[in-house]
Amino acid sequence: MAGRNYGWPVITYGMDYSGAFVSPYTQRAGLEQPVIYWTPSIAPSGIALYRGDKFPAWRGDLFVGALALEHLRRVHLDGSGNVVEQEELLNDRHWRIRDVRAAPDGYLYVCTDEVNGRVLRLEPTS
């Protein structure tokens, strides 16, 4: 939630590139817990909240690019903003996802991070 102190780097579930934890503490009075975290990190890049009409079942979900684990992550949220489930999309492509955008036309656009990178428009299957 906006305006709250989530404690970085005093409390964190994060790991350094060496594999060492950034902090030995994951909780402290007065500091908020994250809604979601990934350990090891997926190396999140772009993030988008989907409100379009092309994928009705995804309305209200977050989409997060994953550089390290090379996929687009869909984070399904309930009406209160709690994480219900997660799904890895495009994981068979082995593309580092640099950014994701929910466009006014109702589609999701994904940008990959390769030498010959791509801009993809995700479309529903029939």
Give me the CATH number covering residue 80.
Answer: 2.40.10
Residue 66, pLDDT score = 96
In terms of residues, how long is the chain?
126
104 shares a domain with 65: yes
With 90 as the cut, is the pLDDT of residue 3 above it?
no
71 shares a domain with 17: no
16 shares a domain with 74: no
pTM of the model: 0.88
Residues 80 and 95 sit within 8 Å (Cβ to Cβ): no
Mean pLDDT across the chain: 93
Residue 123, pLDDT score = 95
Q: How far apart are alpha carbons 120 and 114 in whole angstroms?
A: 13
Host H or E run for residue 98: strand 97-102
20 shares a domain with 61: no
Provide the total of helices (H) and of strands (E) in the chain, helices listed first: 0, 7
In a domain, 39, yes or no: no
- In total, how many domains does the chain have? 2
Residue 31, pLDDT score = 96
Residue 93, pLDDT score = 94
Domain of residue 114 covers 44-122
- Which stretch of 9-13, 18-22, 45-49, 113-117 has the lowest confidence by average pLDDT? 18-22
